[in-house]
Amino acid sequence: MITSQQLEKPISDARDGLVQYASLYRDELLQNILPFWLEHSKDTVNGGFYTCLNRDGSVYDTDKFMWLQGREVWCFSYMYANIAQKQEWLDMALHGADFMEKYGRDKEGNWYFSLTADGKPLVQPYNIFSDCFATMAFAALNKIKPEERYRKIAIDTFENILKRQHNWKGIYNKAYPGTRSLKNFSLPMILCNLSLELEDILGSQRVNEFIPIVINEVMNVFYQPARGLILENVYEDGSFCDSHEGRLLNPGHAIEAMWFIMDLGKRLNDQVLIEKACSIMIDTIKAGWDAEYGGIFYFLDVKGVPPQQLEWDQKLWWVHVEALVALAKGYTLTGNDQCREWFERIHNYTWSHFKDPQYKEWFGYLNRRGEVLLPLKGGKWKGCFHIPRALYQISKTLEMH
């Protein structure tokens, strides 16, 4: 558990950078976060995972959301591959994948959004992120337990994503065609990371062909140099749309995307790209930071008018842990002292507000003042993904520095 001394002053100083944080993040991952999901989320009757978990881990709803099933399969596969070959982690990944394989797709291979506990479809496959995380899940599982059927599911789903990418809601799209045709940042952002996750299956050549397209979308289409920020929605040609959707800032999405871009920059040995991503990330944190109460806003309007989202001023777990990943990577790759300073500020906010002093998993939702808004540890949107991935990424990044 984080100590009061750690909250009162930074662990590190300018001489050692951020390296002393590494063990804190690794211990939290291995001693608290992963054990919580191992203990509470496994449905031993129907298969798959429960994600609607109370503060203490008890189940309060049994619906299963396919994107969270995929995220949890990915998580335990990834930890098995990168930390230790623990049988309980492999068993957990296989348990979730078996449920997904049996029940998760419609006849066209699209992944449903949600199912009943025993695998009956509840919500149609309107959301392509179910497909994105199914792809990640089966690619990661194939890496640790190679099976042709896992490989085929990953490839088939990825090809389906590419087919649907320009109209991914398809028949479920509520927008009237042609009046205000916007493109959304979420999918290009995820494809940055997904491309690297699939390299073992797709091969380096295809990934190398794919990467410049994704980088261009993120860094040239959605990034608006005049504002110095990444917008969540733009016209098809990348121009600004002066509407609620067009003015929308999602600081967490932009920040998360920048550490994906930094990873790609490292792969390409492109320091200019890394520096640009780091700079955008810092600018986004500054724009999103709540100077009055601390923490990063969930949504903002780029013109400062009232956002459409009523939850705009909430402080969410994933935004803060993704910012910490981006800052750790930014600091190690560029040495920018602003990254270190912001890391320590957001670290202190995150560990003092989201970490539950009584139970192992962290809170997800705070109000603007930083008070716990919902005591749940998992639900429709929060599962076993952002926190464990971030704790691993931060500890690994800082260990290597």
pLDDT (tens digit, 9 = 90+) per residue, 162-179?
A: 888 877 777 778 888 889
One-letter amino acid identity for 3?
A: T
Residue finishing a domain among 174, 198, 228: 174
Distance CA 135, CA 71 (A): 10
Q: Can you tell me the mean pLDDT for 262-278?
A: 97
Per-residue model confidence as pLDDT tens digits over 210-265: 899 999 999 999 999 999 999 999 999 999 999 999 999 999 999 999 999 999 99
Alpha helix stretches (DSSP H) within 83-203 = 87-103, 128-144, 148-164, 186-197, 199-202
pLDDT over threshold 80, residue 276: yes
Q: What is the CATH number of the domain that holds 391?
A: 1.50.10.10
- 55 in a structural domain: no
For residue 82, the model assigns a pLDDT of 98
For residue 401, the model assigns a pLDDT of 66
Indicate whether 145 and 212 sit together in one domain: no
pLDDT over threshold 50, residue 42: yes
For residue 170, the model assigns a pLDDT of 79
pLDDT band at 16 (very low <50, low <70, confident <90, very high): low
Task: Report percent pLDDT > 90 for the chain.
Answer: 86
CB atoms under 10 Å from CB of 394, counted, come to 27
Residue finishing a domain among 136, 151, 174: 174
Q: Can you tell me the mean pLDDT for 7-24?
A: 67
Find, among 253, 243, 132, the residue nearest to 198 by Cα.
132
Indicate whether 146 and 25 sit together in one domain: no
One-letter amino acid identity for 247?
A: R
Tell me 177's DSSP state.
T
For residue 78, the model assigns a pLDDT of 98
User: The domain containing residue 14 runs over which residues?
Assistant: 4-40+183-400
52's tokens:
């609607």
Name the burial class of residue 179, with classes exposed (0-12), middle (13-18) and buried (19+) by CB atoms within 10 angstroms of its CB.
Answer: exposed
Indicate whether 154 and 266 sit together in one domain: no
Q: Provide the residue count of the chain.
A: 401
Indicate whether 187 and 170 sit together in one domain: no
Find, among 172, 169, 57, 48, the residue nearest to 116 by Cα.
48
Find, among 132, 237, 129, the residue nearest to 182 by Cα.
237
Distance CA 161, CA 67 (A): 14
Indicate whether 261 and 394 sit together in one domain: yes
Q: Can you tell me the mean pLDDT for 16-25?
A: 90
Handedness of CA 29, 33, 39, 45 (dihedral sign): negative
pLDDT over threshold 50, residue 1: no
pLDDT over threshold 50, residue 3: no
Indicate whether 251 and 308 sit together in one domain: yes
Indicate whether 97 and 202 sit together in one domain: no
- 54 in a structural domain: no
pLDDT band at 5 (very low <50, low <70, confident <90, very high): very low
For residue 195, the model assigns a pLDDT of 86
pLDDT over threshold 70, residue 376: yes
Indicate whether 14 and 98 sit together in one domain: no
Distance CA 209, CA 279 (A): 26
pLDDT band at 51 (very low <50, low <70, confident <90, very high): very high
- 155 in a structural domain: yes
pLDDT over threshold 50, residue 8: no
136's tokens:
């990640």
Between 169 and 96, residue with greater pLDDT:
96
